[in-house]
Every structure is written in C-alpha cells, then in structure tokens.
A and B are shown apart, each in its own frame.
Chain A
Amino acid sequence: MLTYVIRRLLYSIVVLFAASFLTFTFVSVSGDPLAPLRIVPNISPETIRNVTEKKHLDDPIPVQYWYWLKDATTNQFGTTLLGDKPILPDLWRVMKNTLQLVIVAELLAILIAVGIGVYSALRQYSAFDYGATTFSFLGLATPVFWFALMLQVGVVYVYQWTGHNIFPIASLSSVDPGTGISFWIDRAHHLVLPVLVLMVASIATYSRYMRASMLEVINSDYVRTARAKGLPEQSVTMKHAFRNALIPLVTLVALNFGALLGGAVITETVFSLDGMGLYFVTSLGANDPYPIMAWLMITATMIIVFNLIADIAYGYLDPRVRYD
C-alpha cells in the first residue's frame, strides 16, 4: 500500500510539472501582461523596459518558466507582475474563504443526498421517489449562475415587499461584523445563499448516484442471502446494502472536488465573495501569469491529493480492490 501511494505521488509530481509548463506557456504566449501599463498616458518607454527586464518578459518561454519555478518554490510563489504584490498571502486568504464555503456546502450536500438517495431507493416509485428524481433533474439542468442570480432577485423582491433583508446577497461579511461569535454568525448568514447554490448541483448528482447504487445493491444476490438468513430488514438494509452502496459514492465525491472548485468560481463571482474563484477571474483579467499559475498549482495539488484519498478510501471500503 505504501509503495502504491509513493508511486502515485511521484507520478503526480511529474504530471504537475507537465501541466504547469503547458499552462505557463499558454498564458505567457497569449497575453500581454503589460497591456494595462501601456495604455497609461505618459508612461515612459524606460519604465516599460525596466519592468520587462525585471520580469524577464523578453526571455524565451522555458527561461521564463524556470524563473517562475524558482520563484514559486523558493519565494512562496513570488509576486505579481505589476506592483510586486506577494502572491501567497493573498492566495492563502482567499483559499481559507473558499474552503469555508466549499466544505460546508459539500458536507451538507453529502448528508442530504445520501438520505434522499437511500430513501428513494427503498421507496422506489413512491411520491417521494418521483419528487426526488424531479428535483435531481432540475438541479442538474439549472445553470449555476442563473440560479444564484434568481436567488438574489428573490431576496430583493422579498425585501421590497416585506422590508426584511432575509439573506445578504453579496460579500462574505458585513461592513462591521464584530469579532468572535458575532463575526461567525454574520459570516454564516452571508454564506447561506452561496452554500445553497453550490449544494443544489451536488445534491442532484450525488442523490442520483446513491439511489442507483442502492437500488443495484438492494436487488443483488447477497442481499437476498442476508434475508434468507433471517436477518431483520433493518439489518439487511443498513449493514449489508448501505455499506456496499456507499462505495462508489466515495469515489464520486472525491473526484468531484475539482468540479466544486470550478463551481465556486461562478458562485463567488455572482455573490462577490472574496474567494479563490474571484481571485482567479481577476488575475485572468490582469493577464498576469504568476497568480494564475499559483492558483492552478494549488488547485491541481488539491485535486491530486483528493484523487489519492478517493482511491485509498475505496481500497479500504472494498476488500476486492486492495492495493499491494
């Protein structure tokens, strides 16, 4: 098992390098990071030349990549192109915010989805089942950003009619959130709508999977054997069926993590949350490769780690798949 993990990690590092190089090339070649600078009136050509030299913008791509690599590993991902702002503190800050959002949304989604999926499977073709299936389909078909917008519109209309601002529709925190508990309560209040948005797509997908998996397991031969042994129905369902049905979901959840970060991009944009998604979009707009690369590297690493966790968890849960 250990050798497997090590092998995977080594391989992942190679993949990371390859991906980073490709992306870096792409980003560097396609955009002009000095564009905002050039349009400033009265900017002297010397300033431009200075920046160009300092940031090695005239060097061939592999050399630029090398500089980035050095900066990334030794200097905490370096600094932004224009303004020399250190990247890591910013990145760290936005990462914490996004993780709050994503982790809460995901945990809630898993709990709810598993419940819905199992119950739908046990009561197949019931009203609940049809309702849950409809909800799944709707959830998967709804554009994330549109749903977020609709929620905002809804809140505004409620405010117009009732004068109550039930949920904040932007930002992570109010202007003066206080400290300690009141800070966190305020934060939670602000996160309600974004979490809701992120949860919908996840619940739709996971509950579908859980239902299908549970149905397959419920109709399997070994569940029939468990019944034939005289086990009480509850034992059959929870001990034998549920455990087996969960296994594919574990993989799905872990692998979905990458998509989650993507969804966070949209949600954060709509709700103006100071998270990784918004950071990424802003950096894109600035054509600055260093923050973009830093973002990609961190995200890619997280995805790799989660994939590895997914595989290990799978091996733990399903003895047929143990890695030697």
Chain B
Amino acid sequence: MTEPPRHDMVQSTPQTGGGGAVLLEGAATAKPDSELAYESGVELKERSQWSYVRMRFFRHRLAVASLVILILFALVAIFAKQLAPYSFDEIDLSHPDPNTGLALSPRLENKHLFGTDQLGRDYLSRVIYGIRTSLWVAIFVALLATAIGTAVGALSGYYGGKVDNLLMRFTDLILTLPGIAVLLVAAVYFGSNDSEVSLGPVTVTVPQPMKIGLILALLFWVGLARIVRGLFLSLREKEFVEAAKAAGASDMRIIMRHILPNCVGPIVVFTTLIVAAAILTEAALSFIGYGIQPPNAALGKLIVDGQSEGFTLWWLVTFPGLVILIIALCINFVGDGLRDALDPTQRRTRA
C-alpha cells in the first residue's frame, strides 16, 4: 500500500505489523529494473486478523490454562447426571460417624470425595449440580445482558440526541439505587417461584432460576450499554461510516455491519466479566436466601445451609465457595487474556 508522495515529504510506507498486515519473510533476490525489484522473491505471508488475535491469546499461558479449566467445568455441568456419583437428594445412611452423625468428612476411601452433609447426602454430587445451575444461569445472564446492553448502547450512541438522553436518564434511574438492594427487592417479590407465562395458546413455565437470571441481567446490562454507547459515539464519526452513508446504506445496516463488528472486542471482554459477576452475585443472593430456591441446586444455598455447622463440618462451607472462587478466577484470567489479545496497542499492563 504505497501512497503517492507529497512534494514536500518523503514517501512513508506503512510499518509492518499493523492489524491484518503483512509479514516479510525470506530473502530477496533483486533484479535490474524497478518492476522486478518490487515483485522480487520476497515472500509475503498474509494472516487474517482473527488468527493474530488467537496467536496473541495463546501466548498468555494463564489465560489458556484458565480456559481449559473452564471448559472442564462446563463439561462437568453438562454431564452432571453422568458424572455425579449420587443424585442430588440421595441419602447415604451407610456410614454414620460417631461425632457428626450422618455428616461425613471428605475421605478418599469412602465413596464421598467431598464428604456428606448433615443429612448424609453426597456433597460432591450436590456441588456438581450446583455448578451446573450456577453456570447456566450466569451464562444466561451474560447473554441477555449483552443483548440488551448492546442494543441500548448502540441506539443511544448512534442516534444521540433525544434518544440518547432518554436512555441515559433511564440508566441513571437504575444506577441511583444500590445494586444489591434492587436485586434483593426484585428477588424477594418477583423471583421466588416459577412463573407461568401464557404466550397465546401456549403456556410456558419460567423456572425460578431463570427469573433470578432475568433480574440479574436487568441490572448488568447498564455497564455494557455505557461502554457500547461510548464506542458508538466515537466510531460514528469515522470516515468509513460517512462512506457507507454516501453509498446509501441504511442506519440499521451501518450499525450492524460497519460499526458493531468493530466493537466486538470490548463487548466480549465485558461479557466475560458479566459472567463472573453473575456467578458471584447469584451466589450472594442465594446465600441471603432469596436467590435460587430448592429444589434447584445453588452453590450459594449450599454454603448457607452448611453455615450453621460450618465450624465443625468445615467442608460444607469450603468446597462450594472454592468452586465459585476458581470459576470466577478463571473467567477473569480469560477475560484479561482476551483483552490483551484483542488490543495489542495497549502495553502489556496485564491487569
């Protein structure tokens, strides 16, 4: 890509290494005239932008390791039924412990890796089912929040003016009250049981965890909307948007096809953060008692159930919490790695 030189400037050709650019490899054999020198045996290998992103991501060993761990957790969640040695509610009366009654501490020789709870239920299985619920609710929250947040942010940032004003005032409303409080109120009054929703002839049961997810999503979309709005505000002034308009593209097309793809990076990073936040928040809600209700499993609920005995039956509290911690940690590492991979112009500040 050579630009015609201005009369007062030396021709400046682009540096190698810009996004989606070209790598110079191999030795050259120059030939007598300028044409041949240009096409000379210099080998050019072109890589797409996405493979650059992948390459950079895999350089972060921590992020890759975390991704592997997360995939393992996802597999556990998906194949919970097959993997859990016992069912969620099965009571094992076989080995009562003299000190703790039915509750067994974790041992390798008996069949309870994580021990059992006060009623003799295998804790490993309960934790596995808890992982499954927490993960799918968190992903549901993230997807929903991302969808809403992106839509609102895009419209707000692109159209500006009154639309922007209105939407931003609305988000201000949501932000004026402390998050946990709003969540609790909503969870108590709205999210404590399954709902029946009739869409025309069909009645759909909305499971209670999904309602909790809905409530969480309605809180989390705001942060993403802000970010997307900011991105749209700056991108909308760029020349490629002007060019698209001049070519007759409709607003929707410009938004979807031109601007949005440029925002994918920050959006993806923020979405991973939402997943982590969702897991932590849902656990906190369940802990207070207003989160995911039984018979559905929830890691937070497991912890609060074990709390009363927590000082002697330490595993009841430790394992579910550790699981939450590890999942959230891995998500954060992956998010960090993604952020680095997607924006190499930022120095490796790494945090």
**A and B touch in their complex, CB below 8 angstroms:** yes
Q: Could you tell me which A residues sit within 8 Å of B by CB distance?
A: 12, 15-16, 18-19, 22-23, 26-27, 29-31, 124, 133, 136-138, 140-147, 149-150, 152-153, 156-157, 208, 211-212, 215-216, 219, 258-259, 261-263, 265-266, 269, 280-281, 284, 292, 295-296, 299-300, 303-304
Question: Total A-B residue pairs with C-beta atoms closer than 8 Å?
Answer: 147
List B contacts of A295 (CB < 8 A). 181
B307 at the interface (CB under 8 A from A): yes
Do B324 and A262 touch (CB < 8 A)? no
CB distance from A146 to the nearest CB of B (A): 3
Query: Given A212-B349, A281-B288, A299-B181, does the pair A30, B176 have CB atoms closer than 8 Å?
Result: no
Taken together as a complex, chains A and B put the C-alpha atoms of A202 and B288 apart, in Å, by 21
CB distance from A206 to the nearest CB of B (A): 12
Do B321 and A149 touch (CB < 8 A)? yes
Out of B176, B288, B350, name the residue touching A304 (CB < 8 Å). B176
Q: Could you tell me which B residues sit within 8 Å of A by CB distance?
A: 169, 172-173, 175-182, 184-186, 188-190, 276, 280, 283-284, 287-288, 290, 300, 303, 307, 310-311, 314, 317-318, 320-321, 324-326, 328-329, 331-333, 347, 349-351
Do A140 and B177 touch (CB < 8 A)? no
Q: Among A137, A216, A280, which residue has the most Cβ atoms of chain B within 10 A?
A: A137
Taken together as a complex, chains A and B put the C-alpha atoms of A143 and B180 apart, in Å, by 14
List B contacts of A300 (CB < 8 A). 176-178
CB distance from B117 to the nearest CB of A (A): 15
List A contacts of B179 (CB < 8 A). 258-259, 262
Do A133 and B181 touch (CB < 8 A)? no
Do B310 and A19 touch (CB < 8 A)? no
CB distance from A81 to the nearest CB of B (A): 15
Minimum-distance CB pairs A-B, first 6: A30-B189, A262-B180, A146-B321, A141-B328, A141-B329, A156-B311
Given contacts A31-B189, A304-B176, 11 further A-B contacts (CB under 8 A): A133-B350, A137-B351, A141-B329, A146-B320, A146-B324, A149-B317, A258-B178, A259-B178, A261-B178, A281-B288, A296-B181
Taken together as a complex, chains A and B put the C-alpha atoms of A16 and B182 apart, in Å, by 14
List B contacts of A262 (CB < 8 A). 178-181
Taken together as a complex, chains A and B put the C-alpha atoms of A271 and B8 apart, in Å, by 73
Out of B173, B310, B321, B332, name the residue touching A18 (CB < 8 Å). B173
Chief secondary structure at chain A's binding surface? helix
Taken together as a complex, chains A and B put the C-alpha atoms of A137 and B62 apart, in Å, by 12
Taken together as a complex, chains A and B put the C-alpha atoms of A23 and B190 apart, in Å, by 12
Do A150 and B317 touch (CB < 8 A)? yes
Do B178 and A143 touch (CB < 8 A)? no
In the assembled complex, 16 residue pairs joining A and B whose CB atoms fall closer than 8 Å, in A order, are A27-B189, A137-B332, A141-B331, A143-B325, A144-B280, A144-B284, A150-B318, A153-B310, A153-B318, A211-B351, A212-B351, A258-B178, A261-B180, A266-B284, A303-B175, A303-B178
Taken together as a complex, chains A and B put the C-alpha atoms of A219 and B347 apart, in Å, by 9
Do A140 and B328 touch (CB < 8 A)? yes
Do A266 and B351 touch (CB < 8 A)? no
Do B321 and A143 touch (CB < 8 A)? yes
A302's nearest neighbour on chain B, judged by CB, is B178
List B contacts of A141 (CB < 8 A). 276, 280, 325-326, 328-329, 331-332
List B contacts of A211 (CB < 8 A). 349, 351
Query: Given A137-B333, A145-B284, A211-B351, does the pair A23, B317 have CB atoms closer than 8 Å?
Result: no
CB distance from A15 to the nearest CB of B (A): 6
Taken together as a complex, chains A and B put the C-alpha atoms of A265 and B178 apart, in Å, by 10
Out of A15, A133, A149, name the residue touching B303 (CB < 8 Å). A149
A29's nearest neighbour on chain B, judged by CB, is B189
Taken together as a complex, chains A and B put the C-alpha atoms of A266 and B282 apart, in Å, by 12
List A contacts of B333 (CB < 8 A). 137
CB distance from B77 to the nearest CB of A (A): 18
B175's nearest neighbour on chain A, judged by CB, is A258
Out of B176, B185, B186, B284, name the residue touching A143 (CB < 8 Å). B284
Query: Given A26-B189, A211-B349, A262-B181, does the pair A146, B176 have CB atoms closer than 8 Å?
Result: no
B277's nearest neighbour on chain A, judged by CB, is A140
CB distance from A132 to the nearest CB of B (A): 8
List A contacts of B190 (CB < 8 A). 26, 30
Do A27 and B303 touch (CB < 8 A)? no
Out of B186, B290, B314, name the residue touching A153 (CB < 8 Å). B314
List A contacts of B173 (CB < 8 A). 15, 18-19, 22
Do A143 and B310 touch (CB < 8 A)? no
Query: Given A145-B287, A146-B324, does the pair A280, B310 have CB atoms closer than 8 Å?
Result: no
Taken together as a complex, chains A and B put the C-alpha atoms of A193 and B298 apart, in Å, by 26
Do A265 and B180 touch (CB < 8 A)? yes
A216's nearest neighbour on chain B, judged by CB, is B349
List A contacts of B350 (CB < 8 A). 133
Taken together as a complex, chains A and B put the C-alpha atoms of A35 and B46 apart, in Å, by 70
List A contacts of B283 (CB < 8 A). 143, 145-146
